[in-house]
Amino acid sequence: MKKNRVKERLRSGKPSIGLLVTTGHPDLAEIYAKCGFDWLFLDTEHGNIGRETLHSMIQAIEATDCVPFVRVLCNDPAQIKIPLDMGALGIIIPQVNTKEEATRAVRSCKYGPEGIRGCSPRRASDYYLNLHEYIESANEEIMVIPQIESIQAVNNINEIVTVKGVDAISVGSWDLSSSMSTDAVKLLGTDKFPHLDVKTKIEIVLDACRKAKLPVISGAANAEGVNRLIDQGYRLIMMGEDIELYQVYREELSKIRR
């Protein structure tokens, strides 16, 4: 089984840089992976990435040193095992609100007796050529990353971070904002987001993760921002998303005299 390079870097205290990918095509996954990202966050929850496309994207990523992470639709063992059997080495699980739900997420990602993952890792085990090697190492190599996206989750964060098998935490600030108030949602996409109340809730999550020594997926738009986060001690950093690359061209086109 391929070693999880991101886990290795985290253990040694080194940062790893990722990109959120919402557009489904293996060429794009290959291009981004070859850019030098340590991991790609393939989004099947909000992106247009279907099952067959996801399979091809993971194949493209595995030809590089990059690590494929996948955000699944929901906290459901049937959904979680699909990308795992394709070879994903990290699973981001949306809307994890309680300790019980975090435990369910972990168990869905792991083989027994630690978990309930169905055992048929078709592609992940090189089509069963390395079946035993894969099964023996999968529980250790695969990262489980619950997403905190509601006031309920914030209120339960001190319990969520104690769940054995949780490797990192992701904060869904847009959904968190939505769960707080309609007024907060109105600020999405503006320079006033996240507003003070949302920042306060996010800080509660960050504080709990610091105490539990769990990395948090943090975001920055450019190299300067990433370096700033690294200086602040962050080690799991997402440098924006693919759609932002399209926006760069839009801005450049607006400057052209035509």
| Residue-wise DSSP of 107-173 | HHHS-TTT----S--TTTTTTTTTHHHHHHHHHHHSEEEEEE-SHHHHHTHHHHTTSTT---EEE-H
Which is catalytic among the residues 25, 46, 55, 195? 46
DSSP three-state, residue 209:
helix
DSSP state, residue 87:
T
From its phi and psi, is residue 189 left (phi > 0), alpha (psi between -120 and 50) or beta?
A: left
Q: Are 35 and 6 in contact (CB under 8 A)?
A: no
CA angle 212, 203, 186 (to 5 degrees): 140
CA 132 to chain centre: 27
25 classed as catalytic: no
Which residues participate in catalysis according to the annotation? 46
